[in-house]
Structure 1
Amino acid sequence: MTSRTPGTATDAPPARPAPGDATTGPGPRGGLGLGQGTALYIASVLGTGILALPGLAAAAAGPASIVAVAAVFLLSIPLAGTFAALAARFPDPGGVASYVRRSLGDTAARMTGYWFYFGVCVGAPVVAILGGEYVVAVLGVDRAFAPLIGLAIFVPPAVANWFGVRVAGWVQFVLTGLLLAVVVGVVAATVPAVESSSFTPFLPHGWAGVGTAISLFVWAFAGWEVGTHISGEFRDPRRVIPIATAIAIVVVGAGYLALQVVTVGVLGDRAGEGVVPLLSLVEATAPGIGPVLVAIVAAIVTTGVLNAYLPAFGKLGAALGRDGDLPRFFAKGAEDGGVPRRALALTGVLIAIYFTVGYLNGFDLTALILIHTSNMVAIYAAGMLAATLLLRRWSAGWWLAVVATGLTFGLLVLAGPNLLVPAILALAAIVVTVIRRLRRRRTAARAIPAPVPAPAHDTRLETTA
């Protein structure tokens, strides 16, 4: 993508590039290869959902929750495929916001950037607290220690990303490998305990329960957009990103389906009980090592998810500074291979604020989760609409974008009143647009020289003549 000088963005829709052009920014490409990139994608999606969602979905739909998982998995394919096509062709740290800028203009791009940076960032404390809740339950200590454990979980990914995405990529490769090993181990250990009677009745709550379970698993399959923000860090984004996405789709779908089957088959009606359903699952088959195994899962999952999201937030913050949507001070590190330490520091401040808000409301995470998911739905709708305008018409990527656009706008309607925060952030983006236009007009007015008055007409000369 052609670089933009910070502060020179205009609010008129930019010239649309040739559809399908694979433009890249100046400077060397990053160091992420297929293994590291696949690990980042898997951790972005196969994340905290495995800690709670299998039990919650089973409580909502019973055995039919397996259908819900399969449905969301199939629905996520066009979404993930579209993001892969965009990231491979237009690698830019602005991610979805940069695609929206190309097709819908600067104000819409500013909205999208704010939705992700200020809205989706609310989910970071949620991830940490979920991990803290699991560790507290395993250790049997007071729940008041969960926030402290959650803060401690932030330390490793913060340190790793401070030294660059390349370091974070290798860390993610190890963490994701451990995560997959644990998931496979849990499934293998619990499959012998699956009982066929647990799958009847198959629809205890009707199809409405399946709809609720689908809504829950939207959280689980969110995260495909994270790779767009670090697409410039891949050595060969056009080749690696589609392959990494395809591998991640298969691994994530198989992982969630397998966990849902054993959750229903082993726990039955007890699947939705308690705060930590995965703990109940492993204790039913391996009571001796169950608690230790769950503690490992919680630590790996939460650390891995944060390690995947922090570089995305950092790169986006730097891109927003580069494009004039945040102060230019934060633009450092937006270039390919750069480390956006200033934007990462700002991200840390935002997370600390949200963490404090969570502490003040007793860490009732429902409100924070709703803010996170509503912003995600708004981002997906804008991103898919942009994709239909940017990708070559009638190509495979374009068809995926068309299907995904319809699906995401349906989710936007379902979000309803939860769209209040995205609406506020959109209004803030419009206000910034108005302020910038007024400033440009004042600057242009000061730059125009005042007219030089014409010399006074001397009537004495005429009299003399």
Structure 2
Amino acid sequence: MNSAPSLAQRLLRKKPIETFLAQSQSHGHGAELKRSITLFQLTMFGVGATIGTGIFFVLAEQVPVAGPAVLISFLIAGFAAGLTALCYAEMSSMIPVSGSSYSYAYATLGEGLAFLVAACLVMEYGVSAGAVAVGWSEYLHNLLLITTGYELPRALLHAPLVAEGYSLKFGGDGYINLPAAILVGMCCVLLIRGSRESARANAIMVVIKLGVLALFIAIALTAFKAENFTPFAPHGVAGISAAAGSIFFTFVGLDAVSTAGEEVENPRRNLPRAIIYALIIVISFYLLVTIAALGAQSQGMFEGQEAGLSVILQNVTGSSIPSVILSAGAVISVFSVTLVVLYGQTRVLFAMSRDGMLPPIFSRVDPHTLTPTANTIIVGCVVAAIAAFLPSAVLWDLTSMGTLVAFTVVSAGVIILRYRRPDAPRGFSVPFFPVLPILSIISCLYLISSLSSIVFKLTAIWAVLAGIMYIFYSSRNSVLEPGSDANADLSE
């Protein structure tokens, strides 16, 4: 009888790529997903999870930090995201399975680091969905106000907690952000119905979103004033760096694309293409909307401005009609952001559960819809609580931390597999290797260094809790653990 492996052996053991592929195609264990998502729908997944989280909300948070130089912050974050997107394209074409950077880390860096990455992904997706839901409630309230004159009670629109220094304290403007929690519930209902339905609904909402943003750009540019860009960088390099670190959370959609690895048609071809296409669309719209917004409104007006783009249009035109259209578009389309981010969250948990890292309930698939129903309900309850009770400022930066850690690991994984498995099939290869993956790692570490202290504190607490979970449950139930149920299932 083989003795149990040591903790060091468990931390360093790796799951072969062939095992990932065989496991994703296994039958009969209640853990099979359906390939039904097209290249266009997958590209819209990336765009849907990205545009909206940034442009609709983040300017009010980051223009006061960086001034008009927030444009440079977007370029820095976009540059880092672009480098990482190429790394994601290569990894996803090699390992087209659910789990995204968790699965990639498991194949390259070992089980321990893979679990830490998964913990960061869980934090990233959960917190991101909560943050976007909070922003959605602002646009919903603004839409009701300008169309009906009815104003929702502040107690039902704001979280009871606020961030002060290194801690969270009671003292917010409200008791619960009820619309944000309701949005999360509606998205979970759609996800439970099926991946094909969710992808189709998301694609429609993304097209609406891009049309609304094009309308904003066209109208805002009519009021463009060059003097609004002066002073360009009132807070210097420190402000630009701080804003870039926070803005990076808006590129979470790139990771969301790769979580769909087992539900995409022709994944080796379509995964890398969708990631690159989504990145090009996202950066183009980010820059155009930011330029138009800064040109139409002085930088001092952004701070504390809820539903900012809608307010800008109302100020520019003197009419509520364009503002109503933008707010309605935001309410409809930001639904897609929450939808895709929640989708990504459930698929990471699905992959972890199938590997034995989490209880089996997270990989249990409904035989009729072929979706992880129980998983989705659990995620929905947790994210709804986050959206209802935590302040948005902390949520933005926590999302950036999770995203940056995941992106760093993916870039490192590309380098490792190029040397360890040079002959493995690849649908896409990062050009200028190893320069671009190294630059990606450096860019991500630079942005991590710019995040606030409370984010490092909360992330450290989360990492400790994840470590305890790994030592006492996950490592002992891993698919690679001799004699484990997961191992037995895989060997059948």
Which residue is equivalent to 1:92?
Answer: 97
Q: Which runs of 5+ in 2 are unaligned?
A: 1-8, 27-32, 146-150, 158-176, 423-428, 484-492
Q: CA contact under 8 A between 2:100 and 2:258: conserved in structure 1? A: yes
1:410 is aligned to 2:440:
no
Q: CA deviation at 1:108?
A: 1.5
How many pairs align? 427
Q: Residue 298 of structure 2 aligns to a residue in which SS?
A: helix
Which of 230, 233, 253 pairs up with 2:260?
230
Q: Please give the alpha-carbon distance, in whole angstroms, between the structure 1 residues aligned to 2:204 and 2:272.
A: 21
Q: Separation in 2 of the partners of 1:172 and 1:374? A: 26
1:383 is aligned, of 410, 434, 441, to: 410
Match of 2:286 in 1: 256
Unaligned runs of 5+ in 1: 1-8, 445-465
**Residue-by-residue CA offset, 1:382-409 (whole Å, 9 max, x unaligned):** 3332232124689526533322112222
User: 1:434 is matched by which residue type in structure 2?
Assistant: I
Q: 1:372 maps to what in 2? A: 399
For 1:287-302, list aligned pairs within 5 A: 287-302=319-334
Indicate whether 1:304 and 2:340 are aligned. Answer: no
Cα distance change of structure 1 residues 331 and 125 upon mapping to structure 2, 3 Å threshold: same
Paired residue type of 1:106: E
What is the 5 A alignment of 1:236-275?
236-273=266-303, 274-275=305-306
Structure-2 change in CA distance of 1:159 and 1:22 (3 Å): closer
User: Contact between 1:55 and 1:272, CA under 8 Å: does it hold in 2?
Assistant: yes
Q: Answer whether contact 2:184 2:384 (CA < 8 A) is retained.
A: no
Alignment partners' CA distance in 2, 1:223 and 1:424: 25
The answer to which structure has the higher helix fraction is: 1
- Residue 224 of structure 1 aligns to a residue whose secondary structure is helix
Deviations 1:25-78 (A, max 9, x none): 316861111110111000111122112223443333333222322232222101
Distance in 2 (CA, whole Å) between partners of 1:119 and 1:173 is: 23
The answer for the alignment partner of 1:216 in structure 2 is 246
In the alignment, residue 430 of structure 2 is paired with which amino acid?
A
Structure-1-length-normalised TM-score: 0.83
1:396 to 430, 435, 445: 430
The whole-number CA distance in structure 2 between the counterparts of 1:310 and 1:46 is 15
Measure how far apart 1:148 and its partner are: 2.5
Q: Does 1:49 align with 2:79?
A: no
Task: Choose from 350, 360, 375 the match for 1:343.
Answer: 375
Question: How far, CA to CA, are the matches of 2:69 and 2:123 in structure 1?
Answer: 36
Q: Root-mean-square deviation (CA), in Å? A: 3.0
Mapped contact 2:143–2:328 kept (Cα < 8 A) = no
Measured in 2, the distance between the counterparts of 1:216 and 1:11 equals: 31
CA contact (8 A) 1:54 1:259 kept: no
Are residue 144 (structure 1) and residue 176 (structure 2) matched? Answer: no
Q: What percentage of residue pairs aligned between the two structures are identical?
A: 21
Q: For each residue in 1:328-374, what CA deviation from the matched residue of structure 2 results, as whole angstroms up to 9, or x when unmatched?
A: 23222399x94111211221232244245x1xxxx532233333332
Q: Is the 8 A contact 2:101 2:410 kept in 1?
A: yes
Counterparts of 1:64-143 in structure 2 under 5 Å?
A: 64-118=69-123, 120-140=125-145, 141=151, 142-143=153-154
**Equivalent residues of 2:245, 2:448 under 8 A apart:** no
Asked if the contact 2:257/2:275 (under 8 Å) is kept, the reply is no
- What is the DSSP-based 3-state SS (H/G/I as helix, E as strand, rest coil) of the residue aligned with 1:231? coil
2:179 and 2:415 mapped to 1: Cα distance?
A: 43
